[in-house]
Amino acid sequence: MQKLLAIVGPTAVGKSAVALEVAKRLNGEIISADSMQVYLGMDIGTAKPSLQELKEVKHHLINLVIPSQDFSVAEYQKLAREAINEIESRARYPILVGGSGLYIRAVIDDLKFPQGLLGSPVRLELEKEAALKGGEALYFELKRLDPEAAKKIHPRNVRRVIRALEVIKVTGRLFSDFQKEWEKRESVYALTMVGLDVPRDELFTKIEQRIERQLEEGLRRRQPLQRPILRRRSSEWCRRTRSPRPPRPICCRSSSRSASSARRRRSPKGSRGGRSCRSSKA
């Protein structure tokens, strides 16, 4: 069996620093198992390795797709295992590093995912049906086709209900069959797994320090770039649900302080100016 080292642990525990040092000593290369680092442009908030770190040790599966592009764990599994084969072919040591448990398990365990389902016509039809009939209708359909899967999915989790029905219709297999595979813990590699941990108070301090550092590096300045994405998603939400107005994103909701400031700045009665973000009473 192929050798594989996996370094896992919670956010900000220090996985990247440990992995860099281990890779240098073992003549290894790092395979990112972070579900957000696959996206281009999302550098600061996802704590991607610096240019210097990328020069010191070769990294794989970073900056693969743009944020608006679909990317599944099945695709990640395929690319990660190809990277492991490629690294080993050059007599180097593959080191899997990350905090996304799903991505870690997809690589190390013998899990099988339905292929070729992203953006399928079946999914689009199910989304239309959910918009017209509501999520409950689809949930009852799932209960009829796969009662065991329905027990593990909340009726209001329309996205997962659609996913389960899509798998059933496209593959001809029950969604619960795929879920049962998750109960197995059989690695396909000669695996060495290292879990990093620190006391909770120390971890919280590390997380706070990381956030402060990210803000200093310009995380706030990059926020406005996400607004067109929010508008596009809002338009899509209206189209799918036939609602005239989408729910406001959290970033647009006034805090109690900003709401009180808006009230103080409110223009005199009869004026059209000074409208605040909060909703008015009927």
Domain containing 148 — which CATH number?
1.10.20.140
Is residue 89 included in any domain, yes or no? yes
pTM of the model: 0.66
- Asked, for residue 37, whether it belongs to a domain, the answer is yes
Is 101 in the same domain as 171? no
201 and 96 within one domain: yes
Total number of domains constituting the chain: 2
The CATH number of the domain holding residue 191 is 3.40.50.300
Spatial CA neighbour of 143 closest among 131, 130, 161, 169: 161
- Looking at the chain, the whole-number percentage of residues with pLDDT higher than 70 is 76
Q: Which of 173, 199, 224 delimits the end of a domain?
A: 224
Same domain, 15 and 99: yes
| Per-residue pLDDT reduced to its tens digit, 111-122 | 887 665 556 788
- 187 C-beta neighbours (distance < 10 Å), count: 15
Does some domain include residue 146?
A: yes
**How confident is residue 131, by pLDDT bands cut at 50, 70 and 90?**
very high
277 domain-assigned: no
Q: Is residue 242 part of a domain?
A: no
**Chosen domain end from 153, 181, 209:** 181
| Domain end residue (candidates: 181, 198, 214) | 181
Does 97 share its domain with 11? Answer: yes
In terms of residue numbers, what domain contains 154? Answer: 121-181
Q: Are residues 29 and 62 in the same domain?
A: yes
| Whether 18 and 134 share a structural domain | no
Q: Are residues 75 and 191 in the same domain?
A: yes
Q: What pLDDT score was predicted for residue 74? A: 87
On whether residue 249 sits in a domain, the answer given is no
Q: Is 251 domain-assigned?
A: no
C-alpha 120/C-alpha 77 separation (Å) is 20
pLDDT band at 273 (very low <50, low <70, confident <90, very high): very low
- Predicted confidence at residue 254, as pLDDT, reads 38
Q: Are residues 9 and 85 in the same domain?
A: yes
Shared domain check, 157 and 219: no
> What's the pLDDT score for residue 256?
41
The reply to whether 14 and 100 lie within a common domain is yes
Residues 98-108 pLDDT 10s: 988 889 999 99
Q: What mean pLDDT comes out for the span 210-227?
A: 68
Instruction: Please say whether the beta carbons of 176 and 148 come within 8 A.
Output: yes
* Residue 279 resides in a domain: no
Pair (101, 196) in one structural domain: yes
What's residue 211's pLDDT?
A: 87
Q: Is pLDDT at 56 greater than 80 in this prediction?
A: yes
Q: Across residues 214-228, what is the average pLDDT?
A: 62
Pair 131, 103 in one domain = no
